Amino acid sequence: MAPALSDFQPQPAPQTTAVAQTAIGDGLVKEAQAFADELAAWRHDLHQTPELGNNLPQTSAYIQARLDEMDIPYAVLVDGSCVVGLIGAGAVAAAQGNGTCTDEQAGTVIMLRGDMDGLPVAEESGEPFASTNGCMHACGHDMHATALLGAARLLKGREAELVDANATVKLLFQPGEETFEGARAAIADGLLQNPRPQAAFAMHVNSQSPLGLVLYGSPALSGVFGFRITLQGKGGHGSSPEICIDPITAGVHVHLALQELISREVPAAKEVALTVGKFAGGQAANVIPDTCVLEGTLRGFDVELMAHLKERIAEVVNGVAATYRTPATIETLSDVPPLVLDDDMTQASLGYVGAVLPKAAFLPLFHAMASEDFALISSEVPSAYFTVGAAVTDTDEHFAQHHPKARFNDAELPLGAAAYAAVALGYLGDHR
């Protein structure tokens, strides 16, 4: 169904409860603005040293140092690259025990997530703090980590109130979002225990949306199945293909057959995308190689259809491979469900953000074929997730995320910090 015309008009945020409004107060933005320069400095530091995947030693150390300065206890997961802080009743219990706390000691718990990994993109933004290590925070994860640090400072200043309310904020500084490895690894390391959150919230900046624009919806992002197909042939001289088995020929036919899955086996009304983004085989024009490798992604919102297509990919690949005498292996590179969000948590969070950012504009248009491993958290814990505008204002040319020239506006940082804190305080106020 096509969106209604009203969907394209800014919507007011739902009215939050009086209890939540009292818990949030009216000073979060002003307080965050008072240390906006420090937020920008933190962000620039993180931006200059981007790291990839689940291997974030410098980034993790930087986050830990800032939490140490705020006297916020934390644990490290995923071989030290994931940092999980506690503020409130759970932090007090952890300090008195062995560094962790029980669900009972923590009381009501909400988790705020900020991812912090970069991309293998050589930066061309022109920023004075641009990275020079061949990687880049081209998706704005440095913004997320910094805003969450800002929220941590705001919430730490209200810790006594949280303790009195028997409430805890869990801070997740997550690696490996871009590779869809981080959330799964953190969960395996006990992220959702000691204490278990009753709700979770995350935001993602948008380099092409103006400050103050908030997009929401569900399902917000597609599920993704990432795969690698290796075709085994028999190499030899290009002059004698008849005594070789050419895996490149097989790879071409595999690629075409996979595309036909979408055009002939997926209903036209379904949103599905299958992309082969890597096709590698051979080193020289006159040599038939031994192997050919294809890597790609399948994305969609219908879980049952995605499961069916995964089976069909295997059948098609093995069938084509057999035809061309090239045994095939299929490896799973990623497997993340659609980002489905909780309606009640979403509506409540819209109210909390609207209470602290009354000039923000809200649009129910967040629905895209990109993917996000926060879905692994939202499938376990009632969650909300928004995209927020962070476009720079000194240019008419705004580049999309993942582009080497992408830029983000430091002015979003205090707003993001206040929004994170407002969601935590509002939720905990409503769930005493």
pLDDT in tens, 354-400: 999 999 999 999 999 999 999 999 999 999 999 999 999 988 889 99
- What whole-number distance in Å separates Cα of residue 246 and Cα of residue 431? 63
**Residue 1, pLDDT score:** 46
Residue 100 — pLDDT band, cuts 50, 70, 90? confident
Residue 43 exposed, middle or buried by CB count within 10 Å (0-12, 13-18, 19+): buried
**Residue 417, pLDDT score:** 98
- What whole-number distance in Å separates Cα of residue 9 and Cα of residue 317? 46
What are all long-range contacts of 42-47, with beta carbons under 8 Å and residues at least 24 apart?
42/66, 42/146, 42/149, 43/142, 43/143, 43/146, 43/410, 43/413, 44/129, 46/116, 46/137, 46/142, 46/145, 46/146, 47/127, 47/129, 47/130, 47/131, 47/137, 47/142
Amino acid residing at 200 = A
Stretch (H or E) spanning 274 = strand 272-280
Residue 218, helix vs strand vs coil: coil
Q: Which of 7-21, 108-122, 369-383, 399-413 is predicted least confidently?
A: 7-21
b/e string for 408-428 if b means 16 or more Cβ within 10 A?
Answer: bbbbbbbbbbbbbbbbbbbbb
Residue 422, helix vs strand vs coil: helix
Residue 374, helix vs strand vs coil: coil
- What whole-number distance in Å separates Cα of residue 362 and Cα of residue 9? 8
pLDDT for residue 427 is more than 60 = yes
pLDDT for residue 7 is more than 70 = no
- What whole-number distance in Å separates Cα of residue 222 and Cα of residue 336? 9
Nearest Cα neighbor of 408 from 136, 195, 33, 81 is 136
Reported in sequence order, the residue ranges of 6-81 that DSSP labels E, i.e. its strands, are 74-77
Angle of helix 141-156 relative to helix 36-48, nearest 10 degrees, comes to: 140
Stretch (H or E) spanning 113 = strand 108-115
Query: Would you call the peptide bond into 195 cis, given omega within 30 degrees of 0 as the criterion?
Result: yes
Task: List the structure tokens of 129.
Answer: 């703090």
**Residue 156, pLDDT score:** 98
By the 8 A CB rule, do 349 and 420 touch? no
Task: List the structure tokens of 184.
Answer: 């799964």
Stretch (H or E) spanning 276 = strand 272-280
Residue 4 — pLDDT band, cuts 50, 70, 90? low
- Which strands form 291-300's sheet, in the order they lie side by side? 272-280, 291-300, 223-232, 328-336
**Residue 3, pLDDT score:** 55
By the 8 A CB rule, do 379 and 340 touch? yes
**Residue 174, pLDDT score:** 98
- What whole-number distance in Å separates Cα of residue 123 and Cα of residue 113? 25
Average pLDDT over residues 53-71: 98
- What whole-number distance in Å separates Cα of residue 59 and Cα of residue 67? 13
**Residue 97, pLDDT score:** 72
The answer to whether the predicted template modeling score (pTM) of the entire model surpasses 0.85 is yes
For the chain, give the mean pLDDT. Answer: 96
Stretch (H or E) spanning 332 = strand 328-336
Q: Which domains does the chain have, with CATH numbers?
A: 5-221+339-430 (3.40.630.10), 223-336 (3.30.70.360)
